[in-house]
Amino acid sequence: MKIFIDTANIEMIKEISGLGILDGVTTNPSLIAKEKTDLRTCVKKISEIVDGPISAEAMSMDAEGMIKEGRELSLIHENINVKLPMCAEALKATKTLSSEGIDVNVTLIFSPHQALLAAKAGARFVSPFVGRLDDIGQVGSEMLSQTVAVFRNYDIDTEIIAASIRHPVHVLEAAMIGAHIATIPYDILKKMISHPKTDEGIRLFLADHERAKKS
């Protein structure tokens, strides 16, 4: 499974990229606002750090505007893909942009039906939101699993990004289900690295090594 980081924070992206495990980055308008930056400056900086897909969200709500914004965003760097919120206008825009060779990530996917339509329109990525479904008492992982099954049935090559990841168990579920990618917030990536028994083991090994040197 490929690992993307879900943030617009440059320092966090640098740190995780330095671990050698990062395949791409997703941003969204809320993440950009949190960093008090603008989208274009931010994704340009990210493209200098990460050599992989970077999602930048268009804000228009009509196909014409989405296409215009998408074309502009794609010029920032060859790794930029245009994030469009799932709706009828986004499907039209996805068709046009993908036919021009511009990658689209259709976001805010909450059902396999939406994912299937986005893939049919030519999306390179779809982003099913797992955590936000859990938030309203539905089972996000079930929707992700259905989406993966549908795509496998028809050999659809659109990549599924498990999004709205809230804890390491969501990442495990995404990997078990077979999502192509998980886009993971920084703090969850950090949690995935460590384990109390690993820390304890390191402490013990170091202590035994010191004792052995003295004897």
Catalytic residues: 83
95 closest CA partner among 120, 75, 74, 78: 120
Q: Does 141 bind ligand E4P (CB under 6 A)?
A: no
Q: Name residue 91's amino acid.
A: L
| Contacting residues for 124 by C-beta, under 8 A, at least 6 apart | 53, 81, 98, 103, 104, 105, 158, 159
- Taking a C-beta distance cutoff of 8 angstroms, is the pair 53, 79 a contact? yes
Give yes or no for residue 132 binding ligand E4P (CB under 6 A): yes
Tokens read off for 143: 């929707």
Binding residue (CB under 6 A) for ligand E4P from 110, 125, 129, 151? 129
Q: What count of Cα atoms within 13 Å lies in the side-chain half-sphere of residue 123?
A: 29
Which segment (15-23, 67-75, 111-119, 125-133) binds ligand E4P by CB under 6 A?
125-133
Q: Which one among 84, 133, 164, 177 touches ligand E4P, defined by CB under 6 A?
A: 164
Question: In b/e form, how buried is each residue of 136-175, taking b as 16+ CB within 10 angstroms?
Answer: eeeebbebbbbbbebbeeeebebbbbbbbbbeeebbebbe
- Does 127 bind ligand E4P (CB under 6 A)? Our answer is yes
CB of 166 to ligand E4P, least distance (A): 6
User: Contact, 92 vs 62, CB < 8 A?
Assistant: no
- Strand partners for 80: 54
Q: Which of 131, 156, 191, 192 binds ligand E4P (CB under 6 A)?
A: 131
Q: Which of residues 27-56 bind ligand E4P (CB under 6 A)?
A: 28
Instruction: Choose the binding region for ligand E4P from 33-41, 124-132, 173-181, 207-215 (rule: CB under 6 A).
Output: 124-132
Q: How many residues bind ligand E4P (CB under 6 A)?
A: 11
Q: Which window, 86-94, 128-136, 144-152, 168-176, contacts ligand E4P (CB under 6 A)?
A: 128-136
**Min dist. Cβ of residue 106 to ligand E4P (A):** 11
Of 175 and 206, CB closest to ligand E4P: 175
Q: Is 7 in the site for ligand E4P (CB under 6 A)?
A: no
> CB 117 → ligand E4P: shortest distance, Å?
18
Chain Cα centroid distance, residue 166:
13
Alpha-carbon dihedral angle through residues 87, 88, 91, 92, given to the nearest 10 degrees: -140
* CA-wise closest residue to 52 among 23, 81, 12: 23
**Which residues lie near ligand E4P (CB under 6 A)?**
6, 26, 28, 107, 127, 129, 131-132, 163-164, 183
